[in-house]
Amino acid sequence: MMQSTTEYSQAENQSALFAVKTQLVVGLLVFILMIVAGVVLRAAQGSWIEIGPDLFYQLMTLHGAGMVGTAGIAGSVVMWHFLRRQVQLSTAFFWTFFLLCLLGVVLILAAIFIGKFAGGWTFLYPLPAKSMGSWSVLGAALYMFGLLSIGVGFLILYLDVGRGILHRFGNFAKALGLDSLFGSTPVNPDHPLSVVASTMVLIVNVAGIAAGAVVLVMCLVNLYYPAFAPDALLIKNLIFFFGHVFINASIYAAVIVVYELLPHYTGRPWKASKVFFAAWAAVTLMVMAVYPHHLLMDFPMPRWAATMGQIVSYMSGIPVLAVTGFGALTIIYRSGIRWTMAPCMLVLSIFGWSAGVIPAIVDATIQVNLVMHNTLWVPGHFHLYLLLGLLPMVLGFAFYLIDTGEQEIAVVDRLSFLAYAGGGFLFCAVFLASGTASIPRRWAVHYEAWLGHAQLGTVAGVIVLLAILVLGLRILLRLPSAGVPENTG
Ligand code: HEM
Ligand SMILES: [Cu+2]
């Protein structure tokens, strides 16, 4: 077992676990609420319910911001829980992070439901300032202050994470394993994988959130002093750098659960290696260089940026995915693993994540993007790796916390798992098929010919909703009394 340098008292472990559980429960509840909103959106597109375009775009903004924000929080909870075994972390910082996120949520809810803000979670300039009467300047400003508050929460958490990592490893290069990758230090096979992933997340997301803060402040100034009108293309670059990095960092934080729990359930260690370090080092740089794939149809962008967006997209998704997928398969193969809910969720998550990267890369090809840009192909790919990738990682973590060592999966759990995976896959497949049929994304009202897609999507969404209601209930009933999970890994 890994020798640990952390010293916590029993009481500290208890309060840390309480913090993790509380934040996880709130995160799961928000996920479920946002899925309700998502089903309403899809049903409205299928004209099964009538909500009007105003409410549609408010709910779409809520669903987007709520899901992305909660994905970030849930990823951080997973990361914090496992990183805390390796480096000294402060529970007070963890709570500060959470409270700032909650403040952000309150501001965003006020922005959307009182201020009527409906400009999309990406608040693309100059739309927030030019609502043509749909929402107030205050509504747009509240939304931006909400995002700022969440961003500040993350930066505060990362401050403590960075301090903890530096305290044990001296510098981030060592934490990433770069000294064995490029230097003469031999690879330490017990170098904690959670530290490598956390360091990557810390580096890229501090950059991403800093860009986000800059652009939010610029947009806020513009809201009140329209004479200050920054360049729209610059703003779009900053927003998509922030958005791309933030959601990817959420997945890279959540994937720590795979590294920690597959060894736990198979009884086989997942060792660090040069390939592992190389993959994470590569993706640290590439995840930041790849964002121009969101601007392929912005023709004033320099040609090299679009080309880089395409080429790096091909390379960026693959290294960590390959290392994780291949590592997971070799660890599981003939291990006699006990297939309870947590490992099932983790395997589903690796599938959803890998499957989602394929249509993402397809769309990052300029020739394809000419046709697929702003079609439902786009939500198709990201729902794959969020709904079937990130969320199962978080659910797997929750099932691990409530694992009492039983050998069998209860029938309700088995059925809900299958419904979740099947319904989720169908839901994403319908989005992708809609994209291939050139149905645009972000349209409140769909033409007659598109209704079949939207209705099938709604049915799939309802299946997912029912499944996660059952799974959520199973978790919520057992989580409060779950004890401190043992420190193996
Ligand atoms: C069954 C569950 C879900 C349903 C029914 C659902 C439904 C939808 C619908 C109908 C849209 C709008 C599509 C359009 O552009 O026309 C959408 C957008 C979106 N969803 Fe979901 N969703 C689900 C799960 C998730 C999850 C788990 C996440 C993230 C963790 C997520 C994140 C997003 C984001 C970021 C958008 C983009 C919003 C925008 O374009 O501004 N969704 N979803
Ligand atoms: Cu991207």
Helix (H, G, I), strand (E, B) or coil at 125: coil
| Residue 240 CB–ligand 1 contact under 6 Å | no
Q: Which of 67, 68, 393, 445 to mutate to test the pocket of ligand 1 (most atoms within 8 A of CB)?
A: 67
Please, which residues have CB less than 5 A from ligand 2, an ion?
Answer: 244
Residue nearest to atom 6 of ligand 1 (CA): 38
- Between CA 211 and CA 292 the distance in angstroms is 14
- The SS3 assignment for 442 reads coil
State how far the Cα of 134 lies from the Cα of 55, in Å rounded to an integer.
11
Contact status, residue 389 vs residue 356, Cβ threshold 8 Å: yes
Which ligand approaches the C-alpha of residue 294 most closely?
Answer: 2
Residue 42 Cβ inside 6 Å of ligand 1? The answer reads yes
Secondary structure percentages of the chain, helix, strand, coil, to 5: 75, 0, 25
Evaluate: CB of 235 within 6 angstroms of ligand 1: no
Q: Which ligand is nearest to the CA of 292?
A: 2
Residue 442 class from Cβ within 10 Å (0-12 exposed, 13-18 middle, 19+ buried)?
middle
Distance CA 444, CA 207 (A): 34
CA of 428 relative to ligand 1 center, distance in Å? 10
CA 313 to ligand 1 center in whole angstroms = 22
Within 8 A by CB and 6+ apart from 103, the residues are: 146, 149
CA distance 66 to 88: 30
CA–CA distance, 151 with 242 (Å, rounded to integer): 11
Q: Are 393 and 349 in contact (CB under 8 A)?
A: yes
Q: Residue 313 Cα, ligand 2 centroid: separation in angstroms?
A: 8
| 20 Cβ inside 6 Å of ligand 1 | no
pLDDT at 486: 62
Q: C-alpha distances in angstroms, 263 versus 272, 274, 338, 397?
A: 13, 19, 12, 14
Rounded Cα distance between 303 and 314, Å, is 17
User: Would you state the pLDDT for residue 52?
Assistant: 95
Q: What is the DSSP letter of 270?
A: -
Ligand 1 pocket test target in 41, 63, 382, 395 with most atoms within 8 Å of CB: 63
What interhelical angle do 232-254 and 391-401 show, nearest 10? 30
Ligand 1 nearest atom to the CA of residue 390, by list position: 30
The pTM score is 0.97
How many whole angstroms separate alpha carbon 59 and alpha carbon 117? 10
Angle, alpha carbons 24-288-242 (nearest 5°): 55
Query: What distance in angstroms lies between residue 205's CA and the mean position of ligand 2's atoms?
Result: 14
pLDDT averaged over 10-residue windows placed end to end, the chain, 489 residues: 70 96 98 98 98 97 98 98 97 98 98 98 96 96 98 98 98 97 95 98 98 98 96 97 98 98 95 96 95 95 94 89 94 92 97 93 94 96 97 98 88 97 98 98 98 98 98 96 65
| pLDDT (0 to 100) of residue 299 | 94
Atom of ligand 1 nearest to the CA of 424: 1
- State whether the beta carbon of 474 lies less than 6 angstroms from ligand 1: no
Q: Is 148 in the pocket of ligand 1 (CB under 6 A)?
A: no
Predicted confidence at residue 406, as pLDDT, reads 82
Task: Classify burial at 335, counting beta carbons within 10 Å of its beta carbon; exposed 0-12, middle 13-18, buried 19 or more.
Answer: middle
CA 256 – ligand 1 centroid, Å:
24
For tokens 């794959």, the residue is 384
User: Does the beta carbon of 236 lie inside 6 Å of ligand 1?
Assistant: no
Domains of the chain are 10-481 (1.20.210.10)
Which atom of ligand 1 approaches the CA of 387 most closely?
27
Contact (Cβ atoms closer than 8 angstroms) between residue 279 and residue 323: yes
Tell me, using a 6 A CB cutoff, whether residue 44 lines ligand 1: no
Instruction: Say if residues 412 and 476 touch (Cβ distance below 8 Å).
Output: no
Q: Looking at the CA of 461, name the nearest ligand.
A: 1
Q: Is 41 in the pocket of ligand 1 (CB under 6 A)?
A: yes
Q: How far is residue 239's CA from residue 234's CA, in Å, rounded to a whole number?
A: 9
**CA gap 477, 488 in Å, rounded:** 25
Q: Residue holding tokens 């994304």? A: 441
Instruction: Cite the DSSP H helix spans in 255-317.
Output: 256-266, 274-289, 303-316
φ, ψ for residue 346 (rounded to 5)?
A: -65, -40
Q: Report the separation in Å between the CA atom of 473 and the middle of ligand 2, taken as the mean of its atom positions.
A: 33
Atom of ligand 1 nearest to the CA of 443: 16
CB 67 within 8 A of CB 114: no
